[in-house]
Amino acid sequence: MTNENQISDEYIYALVASPEFPKDGVLFAAKSSGLYRSTDQGQNWLSAYESLGLETTLPTTSLAISPNFTSDQTVFAAVEGNLLRSVDGGDTWKYTELGEPAPLVSALSITPNFTKQGLLLAGTLDDGIIRSTNRGATWQRWNFGLLDPHINALSFTLDGAILAGVESGIFRSTNGGRAWREVDFPMDLAPVISLAVTDNLIFAGTEENGLFIAKDGGDAWHPLAPDLIQGAVIQIIVDGSDILAVLEDGIYYSGDQGKSWETCKGFETEYAISNVAAPLGLSPEHPLWVGLSNGEIIKI
């Protein structure tokens, strides 16, 4: 463990770094007390909601930043049935209502082609998918074909399709989230709580049954390292052939698209892992920023 910094004694829902993290050092932490921002690679943290003049805490349940953050400085934060949008890197914010009943946003995902398409999806715990095509200015609910409205995870594939991990398995959209079809994922392995895509492979993390892989299309699923990766896979991070599987009690690394695995950066803590950021790369020689269930963020 090389660095340790505690924000406050609260759960971290998301830990997201700028795409240009090596240059700008920007890292955001979404917590039950609000949104925090660091501009020095996590050494110091300040509230990103200072301009709102809040008198109480503003729980922030999900977070996404633009793939072109360096140029457009766009950040989205999910709060209490609404979304906040910033176009100045989190200095100031505007509220965007998501309609009634006010949903609880559990996942945010931005298309890699955000500059041209402006497409952004919000997954909710009970109300399905809410979609914006104008960079988050306005939103509409799009649940045609989505038979399970309980969204746990969202991920864009390389060809522009969208995957949604839900309580019963996985759904897929090939038209920007306007319509959905169920993927053939074994229901007895669900819920799916994390998703990631690399090349033509889909990785699905389940709540109780570990990590699974399928070729794009999801016709046949196979477990990955079932003797090592057991239980809830809360986060999957991919970068080419490198993969991190994050569990509450450990982090596992594969450098060959999931063919072999090893324990990644062992460290001791009495608290559960909640989120991981790997802005400098996934291979073992690069540091990780790890969010813990008590609100602490450590660099390992």
What is the tens place of the pLDDT at every residue in 65-81?
999 999 999 999 999 88
pLDDT higher than 70, residue 95: yes
Q: Residue 6 has what pLDDT?
A: 46
Summarised one tens digit per residue, pLDDT across range 172-225 is 999 999 999 999 999 999 999 999 998 889 999 999 999 999 987 777 999 999
Asked if 177 and 131 touch (Cβ cutoff 8 Å), the reply is yes
Distance between CA atoms of residues 225 and 222, nearest Å: 10
pLDDT higher than 60, residue 1: no
Give the DSSP H/E element, type plus range, for residue 296: strand 296-299
Summarised one tens digit per residue, pLDDT across range 116-130 is 899 999 999 999 999
% of the chain exceeding 70 in pLDDT: 97
Count CA atoms within 13 Å of residue 67 on its CB side: 13
User: What is residue 231's DSSP assignment?
Assistant: B
pLDDT higher than 50, residue 4: no
Q: Residue 9 has what pLDDT?
A: 54
Residue 101: pLDDT band (50, 70, 90) is confident
Q: Residue 102 has what pLDDT?
A: 82
Which residues have a Cβ under 8 Å from the Cβ of 217 and sit 6 or more positions away?
A: 183
Q: Whole-number mean pLDDT of the chain?
A: 92
The residue to which tokens 């200095």 are assigned: 91
| Mean pLDDT value across residues 73-101 | 92
Count CA atoms within 13 Å of residue 291 on its CB side: 28
- Report residue 23 CA to chain centroid gap: 22
Asked if 78 and 60 touch (Cβ cutoff 8 Å), the reply is yes
Structure tokens at 40: 């020095």
